[in-house]
Amino acid sequence: MTDQVHEILTWYAGQNPGTLTNLARILNHGKLGGTGKLVILPVDQGFEHGPARSFAKNSAGYDPRYHYRLAIESGCNAYAAPLGALEAGAAEFAGEIPLILKLNNNELLSGSTDPCPAITASVEDALRLGCCAIGYTIYPGSSFFRTMYENLRQLAEEAKRAGLAVVVWSYPRGSKLKKEDETSLSVIAYAAHIACQMGAHIVKVKFPAANISDLDKETFKIYDEIVNQQVKFADPIDRIKHVVTAAFNGRRIVIFSGGPAKGDDKVFEEIKAIRDGGGFGSIIGRNSFQRPWDKALAFLGTVMDIYSGKNVGTGGGNAH
């Protein structure tokens, strides 16, 4: 047990030994094991966006076992996916990579401006498949937030009782939010805090943009009068620091999503900002698995090198 991992586990005092053990398994696995940093491969995009949109650019990705291999060979800390994808390889790759079972999922064709993902798996499924954690998405800003929060409370309680960790995707979205609000610094910080209050051990949010939402006038005033004395909004490192501070003053693991596939330089700039701003890592799906195998391994290797503190250049490549 490294000092970094030991310190992180002390932030979760009061959790049962099984949950702490599973958190340690994730933190100690892969190329970044023991550093306190995480890179997780998530592959729920087929469910969320459709198979062709997710896998046609690299057709090997239609096979769920491909993603197991990618997570293992690249040295990820964990692999997260819905029930069917995990079932397709859990026996073949048993014990080779910590697993996170995504318990709820949305789907592209619903067209709802107020999403409320269906529960598609159970804590019992996670235990049966040997998972270390459950994953659950909430959409703060949706008119159905009460249903999502109440379902998460029940599932998190059950997971913790069984000794599993809880990972919460906290994505602001809903009819009351403008598109730019979804990545606003103030809204992302609020979303991270909500996930912490819901009992998440690991919080996943989007990379925060430089704008401040004016949806809540009082909050906008606070940012204008107080927060802007502490945060240089144009500086991505400061924005990351602010989000981490909102997550119980940095005493919860906060990781950031990779988002849609984009150029390498942009991705690596964001990774460096996450590292230097005190973020704990990334959960990167499409930006990795939509590449050919060798390029995906090289890409994830560079991401992990950045988190390990190596001086990595951005070679001007692109996502495909």
Catalytic residues: 204
| Strand-pair category, 104-105 with 118-119 | antiparallel
Distance CA 55, CA 49 (A): 10
Exposure string for 125-139, b = 16+ CB within 10 A, e = fewer: bbeebebbbbbbbbb
Burial class (CB in 10 A: 0-12, 13-18, 19+), 144: middle
Taken in order 151, 154, 157, 162, is the CA torsion positive or negative? negative
Q: Tokens 């991401």, residue?
A: 303
> In angstroms, what is the C-alpha Rg of the chain?
18
Distance CA 136, CA 80 (A): 11
Distance CA 108, CA 102 (A): 17
Distance CA 235, CA 239 (A): 6
User: In angstroms, what CA-CA distances link 306 with 254, 268, 309?
Assistant: 17, 8, 5
